[in-house]
Structure 1
Amino acid sequence: MSETTTDPGLDWATARGMGALAEKMGLKFVEFSVERSVATMPVEGNTQPVGLMHGGAYVVLGESLGSMSANLHAGPGRLAVGVDINATHTRSATSGVVTGVCTPVHLGRSITVHEIVVTDDQGRRCSTIRITNMIKDAPAAS
C-alpha cells in the first residue's frame, strides 16, 4: 500500500488493491475516479515469445481498470462483476510502458460499460478494450 494522496479515488483504489495478477504484471494506478481512471504496465515481463506485448496483458490492464472503476461507481455495499469483455489490438508495444485510460460509456444502477484505450510510450493506440460489469449487492459478511 502506498501513502495517502490528494486523490480520494486513487486512495480508494490503492487501499482496495488491484489483485494478485495485476500486481504480478506490474500494473500501477496513476489516476482514479468514476469519470476517468489511468494505470500503467511495463512491457517487459508481459510479452509473447516473439517479444511483443501479449494481447492478454492488454486485457488484464483493461479489465483491472474497468472493473475497479465500476466498483467505485457502485458504491458501498455493492459489487461490480464483469459479464463481458472484448479487445481489438491494433499495434504491439515491444518496450517501455503502456498506459490504459478508462472512461465510462454507460454508468447505470445495474450495468456499467467502460472503454479502455491502451497506448505505448509514443502515444500510439495499441488496444481498445470494452468491458461490461453487472452491479449487485455485495454478499453479507459471514
Structure 2
Amino acid sequence: MSIWNKPISLETLNATSKNTLIEHLNIIYTEVTENSISATMPVCHFTHQPLGMLHGGASVVLAETLGSVAANFSVGEDAYCVGLDINANHVRAMREGSVTGTAVPLHIGVSTQVWQIEIKDEQGRLVCISRLTVAVKRSRPKQAKPVAEV
C-alpha cells in the first residue's frame, strides 16, 4: 500500500526543482515506488570539494531534498513538513560519475517523521547514509479578511 497522500509523479517532482539549489546541482528524480523516492546527482566540478572529491555537503543536500520531498508527499493537504535534524555518515569517497539517493521512511507519525536516505555509487556501493527528522505541521486555516464597515 502506498504511503503517498498527495498525487506524485516524476514529472511533478522534477518540475518543482526549477530555479532552486536542486536544479543547480542537477539533481534529477528518477523513481517513485509505493514507499520510496530516488534521485541522481552528478559527481563533477560543481559537487566537488577542493580535493576533487564529492563534497559531503552536496550529499547532504541530496539526502535532505529526498527526505523532505518524501515527507511532504506523505502527509495530507492540511499539513506540511519542515526539517528538524539531519545527520550523515560519509563512508566512501567519489571523484566522478553519479550517485543515486533513495529515501525510505523509518517512522511516519502524527507530529514527526524519520527518513533514511542511502546514497550509492553507480556500482551500488554505499557512499553516504543519512537520517532526516522532520516535524509535521498543520496548515493554518486561512483567516477571513475583515469586512469593511459601511
- The alignment's TM-score, normalised by the length of structure 1, stands at 0.87
Counterpart Cα distance in 2 of 1:67 and 1:108: 15
After the TM superposition, list the runs of 4 or more consecutive aligned residues in structure 1 that deviate by more than 2 angstroms.
Answer: 7-19, 138-142
Separation in 2, partners of 1:71, 1:33: 15
Larger radius of gyration: 2
Between 27-36 and 16-25, the greater mean CA deviation after superposition: 16-25
Alignment of 1:10-49 (within 5 A): 10-17=10-17, 20-33=20-33, 35-44=35-44, 45-49=46-50
| Structure 2 partner of 1:91 | 92
User: Over the residues paired in the alignment, what is the CA RMSD in angstroms?
Assistant: 2.1
* Residue 76, structure 1, aligned to residue 77, structure 2: yes
Decide whether aligned partners of structure 1 residues 104 and 137 sit closer, same or farther in structure 2, where only a CA change above 3 A counts: same
Alignment partner, residue 67 of structure 1: 68
Q: With structure 2 as the length reference, what TM-score do the two structures score?
A: 0.82
Q: Residue in 1 aligned with 2:3?
A: none
Q: Are the equivalent residues in 2 in contact too, given 1:34–1:72 (CA < 8 A)?
A: no
Provide Cα deviations, 1:17-67, integer angstroms capped at 9, x if missing partner: 376111101100011356111000000120011110000000000000000
Is the contact between residue 118 and residue 126 of structure 1 (CA under 8 Å) also seen in structure 2?
yes
Cα distance in 2 for residues equivalent to 1:75 and 1:18: 24
Contact 1:113 1:132 in 2 (8 A): yes
Structure 2's unaligned 5+ residue stretches are: 1-6, 144-150
Of all paired residues, the percent bearing the same amino acid is 38
1:83–1:132 contact (8 Å) kept in structure 2:
yes
Q: Is the 8 A contact 1:18 1:64 kept in 2?
A: no
Query: Given that residues 47 and 54 in structure 1 are in contact (C-alpha distance below 8 angstroms), is that contact kept between their aligned partners in structure 2?
Result: yes
When the two structures are aligned, how many residues end up with a matched partner? 136
Out of 30-39 and 128-137, give the one that drifted further: 30-39
CA contact (8 A) 1:34 1:73 kept: no
